[in-house]
Structure 1
């Protein structure tokens, strides 16, 4: 089929968009339309709310929403909401929480809460000349020009923390930055930061144009390229950790606690030095982090980008978690850079986000940072615990069993049979299919 471009797609009704897709891409097959409408909410007001979260919406895309209980974090017991489709994530987090609950639980420290943004500009001028102008004239003007924008944030205890001029001309001709740090308190703060930065860009142009410090040629060379926050926030960081005497690391796999501690530490060290392993290692961490990020209405893409950039900060991609076994004490921790909010965005709109924040006790942004770091650490502990003992497939594939059976169209009785059949076995896809076919041909 030769598809044709369309003008004004966004102006079509929802049904109009579906009709166009049916005619242009689906050969008029109404089966797909039925599937789309199955996922519409019966409450038209609630459906309208979801439609308006994004653009060109034609349906809802559901993800499982689960609860991982028994997380003891800084002396308080939590049940973590997790929106995730991958088998075993919620189970693994819950298992880790249970393991550590009688060993003091998880402890967290907010290391810093700075967020960053930049005005990127080009100007053909000597760096020392521009720096002098910034120090003695421009910096003060930038703060003054954003006072109206920052007023509410300052009343809440946040605002612009600092503004610096960075000389980037060694990396790109005539390239400079205004680098600003912000405290956005309980909001993620993207709109606030970007509003401040856009005002920086305007003020920069106005002040340069009005200044007698620069020649006409220098003034005309100024080009503000963009004003935008950075999702890399290495100074907005939280530490979560667990620790206990090595002899308390009793594992139901039967491995001795000394061997468990030794193998666990080796596994973390491998992820610290080997990028191929670190990538999968950190992906597992983000399974736990992202699930809670999504459930609380925050931006998992920004969270992922920041974490992986931080994992590469020393010039080589490495583990986000670390482990020591000094003086008979097992210690396992994560330093997670993460910028999240509990006000604004979906937090005031999405009903399940409101529910998530309610069961978490309506946390502050800093408390949510702690919860996210704990979720990632717990997920990593569970994965490494499996890897160095029974292997990853035993637990993961057991959780994946129902997915395989659903694909095969198994009955409820057949599902019960297979759960019993694999109770003490490692699930494998081919063995499920072989046994399923055997049952069906009896």
Structure 2
């Protein structure tokens, strides 16, 4: 039974588990055993995982799969994907194999600018604040020199600081809108440290300025924080080939397939209900690689969906077209990624995933991740517009159903063969499983 607890974070790991078991598990010993079953046998490695977050009691595993054969800008990549959804890795691999025969994927980084903002309330005259900002801007940059020193050595740092008047939207509300280049780091801590220093300097200089009346000096720094919406940190991935080379389905002409495919993308572009599922499919591929490489998939998700709604309604992130008998399918998406710092230097599987990708820099990783999203989207639309999504999905889901039923390895082999050319449904699997069980039980000597 749930109840409150004081000082939980100060308890030892064993004490936390004991409290959890006594208040939440029907079978306390079984619950404890499950938690400990997922501990790493290497105590040093387990301690590393324990220290990633607070109140750790166990590890929560996701499968790490591999999608090979990705030909991107003329170079082959093997892509690691951490995800639990059964059909994602298979779909990505199928799309990679399909397009390697048609010239592969093309990808290019369109920008790498990150954004942070100091949000403030200022009750005085706008013209005075503008004049003050022009005078104080050099000091804001100067105040951050120690923080930005190493980043500037790598050709990064603060690229601009501007004052934005947002009083039309909220009374007395202004922003110090700052842009950054963080090179191979995602840069969240770097950006936030810069912003807090900028905010303190701005507030101090304003309160000591002779330009303002006493009441105008009552400036309030509400917060200083990076923005995960990075429309100028963007990447484009695409595929294209002659219409005649689109052999998508033996029962469908290549031109018919291309036109139907484009129609599906157009529907996602004008119908939000479809667009959300359409873009979720893109994020299946993107999130899996982002997670495997130790990046922040929540930030990536938020930025992608904001970008999908940038024109005032929620739309498809991908586009498809035919021009001069050439089919083109492309994706443009904001991706703020890092290959140094954070988990990339700590988590052994993250380091290994980056090694599988040949240790890319941040821009190379952006291209790889966007390509994985495009591949996933292509595979989904191809299935939807030809044989339907469930045939392939349920084949991958078959093992999950059989595991749930407690099937033996021999039974799994039987069902894989049995459903090879049949449509799989949960009901059909259970019915056939029960029939097989009855048959097997009847053969057991009594």
TM-score w.r.t. structure 1 length? 0.98
Gaps of 5+ in 1: none
Task: Report the alpha carbon displacement of residue 427 of structure 1 after superposing the two structures with TM.
Answer: 1.0
Match of 2:368 among 371, 378, 395: 371
Query: Could you tell me which residue of structure 2 aligns to residue 324 of structure 1?
Result: 321
Gaps of 5+ in 2: 440-446
Query: Could you tell me which residue of structure 1 aligns to residue 209 of structure 2?
Result: 211
Whole-angstrom distance in 2 between the partners of 1:305 and 1:4? 33
Whole-angstrom distance in 1 between the partners of 2:26 and 2:62? 28
Match of 2:413 among 376, 394, 416: 416
1:180-231 Cα deviation digits (max 9, x unpaired): 00000000000000000001110111110111111111002x0000000000
1:357 and 2:349 correspond: no
Q: Is the 8 A contact 1:253 1:389 kept in 2?
A: no
Whole-angstrom distance in 1 between the partners of 2:244 and 2:405? 45
Task: Report the alpha carbon displacement of residue 235 of structure 1 after superposing the two structures with TM.
Answer: 0.5
Whole-angstrom distance in 2 between the partners of 1:236 and 1:131? 28
Query: Could you tell me which residue of structure 2 aligns to residue 165 of structure 1?
Result: 163
Q: Is the 8 A contact 2:234 2:333 kept in 1?
A: yes
Q: Is the 8 A contact 2:391 2:423 kept in 1?
A: yes
Query: Could you tell me which residue of structure 1 aligns to residue 310 of structure 2?
Result: 313
Q: Is the 8 A contact 1:253 1:390 kept in 2?
A: no
**1:79-118 paired onto structure 2 within 5 Å:** 79-118=78-117
1:389 and 2:386 correspond: yes
RMSD: 0.9
Task: Report the alpha carbon displacement of residue 380 of structure 1 after superposing the two structures with TM.
Answer: 0.1
**1:220-239 paired onto structure 2 within 5 Å:** 220=218, 222-239=219-236
Task: Report the alpha carbon displacement of residue 254 of structure 1 after superposing the two structures with TM.
Answer: 3.0
1:325 is paired with a residue of what secondary structure? strand
The count of aligned residue pairs is: 439
Whole-angstrom distance in 1 between the partners of 2:15 and 2:281? 41
2:111 is paired with a residue of what secondary structure? strand
Query: Could you tell me which residue of structure 2 aligns to residue 182 of structure 1?
Result: 180
Query: Could you tell me which residue of structure 1 aligns to residue 443 of structure 2?
Result: none
Task: Report the alpha carbon displacement of residue 438 of structure 1 after superposing the two structures with TM.
Answer: 1.0
2:286 is paired with a residue of what secondary structure? helix
Q: Is the 8 A contact 2:343 2:350 kept in 1?
A: yes
Task: Report the alpha carbon displacement of residue 104 of structure 1 after superposing the two structures with TM.
Answer: 1.1
Q: Is the 8 A contact 2:124 2:215 kept in 1?
A: no
Q: Is the 8 A contact 1:241 1:334 kept in 2?
A: yes
Whole-angstrom distance in 1 between the partners of 2:122 and 2:224? 15
Whole-angstrom distance in 2 between the partners of 1:347 and 1:253? 44
1:279-327 Cα deviation digits (max 9, x unpaired): 0000000000000000000000000000001001111000000011111
1:59-116 Cα deviation digits (max 9, x unpaired): 0000000100000011110000000000110000000000000211111111000000
